[in-house]
Structure 1
Amino acid sequence: MYRVPAHRSIEIEAFLIETYGMGSLKWACCGWDSAGVYGDFGFPALTEIDRDLSGFITMFASGEIIDPITNDVRLELDRSKIDYFYIRIDLMII
């Protein structure tokens, strides 16, 4: 898993959509995610291991933050105010 600062999240999201076909990030429940639309990739080195081996990419961030004034947990809808977004890469045999 990779961690990226929020100020770069829009740029990185655009790259993952364009390069790997990941879905656009949307607000759902308590954070940002690609709504189940994973990017995918295949490399010859992967299929040499197993012809059904593929890679999937998703990006997400929790919108739950601790309010510095009240110390309560609250939801932050402004993605630029979230500290980090995460990129997860999974290898799967399908």
Structure 2
Amino acid sequence: MPVTKLATLLPWLFLLGAGGAQGAGLACSDFLSQLGKKPAYLVYQGCQQNTERQDQPFEARYAVDGKHAQQAEAYLRRAYGLPKLKRYCCAWDSTPHSWRDRRTGYGYVLLMATGETLVRTRADWPRIERFVVQVDGYAQDP
């Protein structure tokens, strides 16, 4: 390759290399699929960045049919350490749980809950139409 062509291409090659070294960065996506083997009963609903919250997390939401809620809770406990859901007032809720992906260094906060429900026992969870799982992804420490 002639020196003039190399001199012309060198700045572009440098920029391409620098961009690749930086990494893609965290963006909205199906975080649970990216992090591991997400079961089919955790149905990805979408993601958006919440610019109104501190650190502007990416909020990925999932729906779980009540008949699969105990399986989903067990999976999230085993895979990510989610605390057991408890009944508070008129809904089932876990406390928010955070963890860090050791491969990327990104932090995540996980929550599983229902809306208002009259269901008072775990045995009756299949009567609840839908549970919601939210995974907040943070590019910087929350």
> What TM-score, normalized to structure 2?
0.49
- 1:86 match: secondary structure: strand
List per-residue Cα deviations over 1:70-94 (Å, max 9, x = no partner): xxxxx23232211001110002323
1:1-94 alignment, distance < 5 Å: 1-34=61-94, 36-45=95-104, 47=105, 53-64=106-117, 75-77=118-120, 78-92=124-138, 93-94=141-142
- 1:18 match: secondary structure: helix
- RCO greater where, 1 or 2, for CA within 8 Å and sep 6 or more? 1
Decide whether the 8 Å contact of 1:55 with 1:90 is kept in 2: yes
Decide whether the 8 Å contact of 2:64 with 2:131 is kept in 1: yes
Greater percentage in strand: 1
| Separation of aligned partners in 2, 1:5 and 1:13 | 12
Greater percentage in helix: 2
Amino acid at match of 1:91: G
Gaps of 5+ in 1: 48-52, 65-74
Gaps of 5+ in 2: 1-60
> What TM-score, normalized to structure 1?
0.70
Q: Point out 4+ residue stretches in structure 1 off by more than 6 angstroms.
A: none
